[in-house]
Amino acid sequence: MIDNQVLKNKLEGVDGGDYGLYQSLKGEYDFLNQFKLIIHQIPKDPYAPPHIGIYLIQVKRNDEKIINFDISSKIQEIAFRDYLARKFHSACKEVSKGKRGTGFSGIITISEPGQEMLDRNCVVIDDEKIEVRCFIGLPALGRKIVVKIAEEMLFKELPQIVELALFRENINMEQLNQHIKTCEDAQYLRNKLDSLGLVAFIADGSILPRQSATSDQPLTGESVIPFISPENLRINVQLPHGGLICGMGISKGVTLIVGGGYHGKSTLLNALERGCYNHIPGDGREYCVCLASCVKVRAYSGRSVVKTDISLFINNLPFKKNTAEFSTQNASGSTSQAASIIEAMEIGASVLLMDEDTCAANFMIRDLKMQKLVKKEDEPITSYIDKVKQLYSEKAVSTILVLGGVGDYFDVSDQIIQMIKYKPVDVTLKARQICGKFTEKRMGEDPVSSFKIKGRIPLGESVNSLSEYARKRIYAKEVHRLNFGETIIDLTDLEQLVELSQTKALGYALDYAKKYMDKKLTLKKVVDLVIHDIDIHGLDILSDRISGDLARFRSFELAFTLNRLRGFKVFLKK
């Protein structure tokens, strides 16, 4: 390891030179025994994306100046690293003067965390050290190196950022402990759901509305209405740290969330779909949790589908198209939704979340009048309303469905919650009474055929990350758009993806998963093995290069991304 004075000397030697001369700075530097800076990779162009440059900051855990926490569980480690990532990001914003020069010149930053506590590789901890992986945009004007700004960034701003983010004296221990305890309590609550017969829980006092469609920050102000459970649905749970907590439990089975427009139905569902993650203190959804195996399903026309058995929902198509091995490069609303349900069940979903607004109307129901006009033999779609109860009785897959205009679902529901001015009311009994007043009802269609999920075996040669120039090409600039090889994977309908770092990690995971595609293992087994490897070795296992911009995803999102890769091929297990 070299003293930071050597780094200063190297900088002076490249002043005014071509940007490529920055490559000479690679190496390890001791900053007055406060921290070690490892310049691992420097972009060769000031316009190169931030993730290309890798700068590692390491501090010793046994150093009395450095913040430490006695980690005793994986969930504590994730919460601790999450807290440090947020502190470092906040310190960068406070200290760094930002863009100064060409491209990304002058920037010091770290992969930005959202409202969820995710397992990320921007902060890595082992028994001896804490390592922060950040981006430093070494400055240039055009391609000309500007050493004066570089020295200010490396020898003034960076040490200040490290002190603010990692030095014990600048850490609010009460805040850190609360961060970790909140994560542990949420995880405990989620793990408790199954034994309570629940699929979800929303604590009294939760703040569910967000600031806007583009901001995940909680809504503030006097107009915000805290969530309060109906008395007969209130559940009490004793948390390890937070004590007794009360809130609304949503039972297993079929649950409807109904009400007028703008009364909070979709807001509640959006909180539930994010309930597979733990949230930071102050988010408002800290104790709004759903089973980890919950999956939001919607219709999304135009997506690709490969050899998926959707015959339980769609059969007898014109021209005798085979729906037991359904493939298309341009799915309709109904076929895309049917495929997504089967794909979710294939990976092990136990709860399906749906919003009427984003579902295919003809997939969800055929009402009585339509049944009288169009005979069943002329309609290839078996509506979800006719399979939703069977889905639970046969496969123990619950459904939570937001509805505003289809009362026929009252007949097949176990629990009906009406949102009235953002307040939930249990209207199950009232809905039953309404149902009893209607003598003529729609006819049930196809109640007999059973759910059998066929195992699909992926072909590794169809997962190609190489560009037309035979170079690995995996990157993402948007949460729902992944560039992989020569294709762009549209992930718009994966509504439980919450951070760009997850999307980037999914790209590398697709490439990594090929090692298990031996023409014997099913897609579920392949996905499970990738997740197992991440559990054991961390996110770094996905790539042969060090990075700091990957975040943990679920098995569902990995499988769904593969399913949306155009050109992906599978064959059915015999």
The pLDDT of residue 447 is above 60: no
Residue 187 lies in a domain: no
Tokens of 297: 């399903």
Read off the pLDDT of residues 66-83 as tens digits, 9 standing for 90 and up.
Answer: 999 899 999 999 999 999
48: pLDDT confidence band, cut at 50, 70 and 90?
Answer: confident
Mean pLDDT in residue range 557-569: 97
Q: What's the confidence (pLDDT) of residue 50?
A: 72
392: pLDDT confidence band, cut at 50, 70 and 90?
Answer: very high
> Coil, helix or strand for 519?
coil
The answer on 469 and 422 residing in a single domain is: no
Q: pTM of this prediction? A: 0.95
The pLDDT of residue 574 is above 80: no
Q: Radius of gyration of the chain from Cα atoms?
A: 26
The pLDDT of residue 494 is above 70: yes
Tokens of 54: 């890798």
Tokens of 70: 């006695």
Residue 250: phi, psi to the nearest 5?
-105, 115
Read off the pLDDT of residues 289-331 as tens digits, 9 standing for 90 and up.
Answer: 999 999 999 999 999 999 999 999 998 887 677 899 999 999 9
Residue 52 lies in a domain: yes
Read off the pLDDT of residues 81-126 as tens digits, 9 standing for 90 and up.
Answer: 999 999 999 999 999 988 898 999 999 999 999 999 999 999 999 9
Residue 286 lies in a domain: no
Give the CA angle between residues 279, 280, 283 to the nearest 5°: 80
Containing H/E element for 524? Answer: helix 523-537
What's the domain range around 405? Answer: 294-436
Angle between helices 555-563 and 500-513 (to 10 degrees): 70
Residue 553 lies in a domain: yes
Which residue among 436, 467, 502 closes a domain? 436
The answer on 12 and 152 residing in a single domain is: yes
The answer on 96 and 44 residing in a single domain is: yes
The answer on 483 and 418 residing in a single domain is: no
The answer on 542 and 401 residing in a single domain is: no
Q: What's the confidence (pLDDT) of residue 376?
A: 87
Tokens of 81: 């690293």
The answer on 164 and 40 residing in a single domain is: yes
Read off the pLDDT of residues 145-172 as tens digits, 9 standing for 90 and up.
Answer: 999 999 999 999 999 999 999 999 999 9
Of the candidates 71, 419, 476, which has an alpha carbon nearest to the alpha carbon of residue 272? Answer: 419
The answer on 126 and 16 residing in a single domain is: yes
The answer on 124 and 21 residing in a single domain is: yes
553: alpha, beta or left, given left = phi > 0 and alpha = psi -120 to 50? beta
The answer on 362 and 491 residing in a single domain is: no
Q: What's the confidence (pLDDT) of residue 1?
A: 63
Residue 239 lies in a domain: no
The answer on 9 and 145 residing in a single domain is: yes
Percent of the chain at pLDDT exceeding 70: 99
Residue 277 lies in a domain: no
Mean pLDDT of the chain: 94
51: pLDDT confidence band, cut at 50, 70 and 90?
Answer: confident
Say how many domains are in the chain. Answer: 3
* Residue with tokens 């919460």, as numbered in its chain: 79
Rounded to whole angstroms, the Cα distance separating 152 from 156 reads 5
The answer on 136 and 30 residing in a single domain is: yes
Tokens of 432: 């039953």
**Residue type present at position 341:** I
* Residue with tokens 């493939």, as numbered in its chain: 327
Residue 511 lies in a domain: yes
Tokens of 76: 């504590």
The pLDDT of residue 366 is above 80: yes
Rounded to whole angstroms, the Cα distance separating 129 from 24 reads 26
Rounded to whole angstroms, the Cα distance separating 423 from 225 reads 8
The answer on 47 and 8 residing in a single domain is: yes
Read off the pLDDT of residues 416-445 as tens digits, 9 standing for 90 and up.
Answer: 999 999 999 999 999 999 998 888 888 888
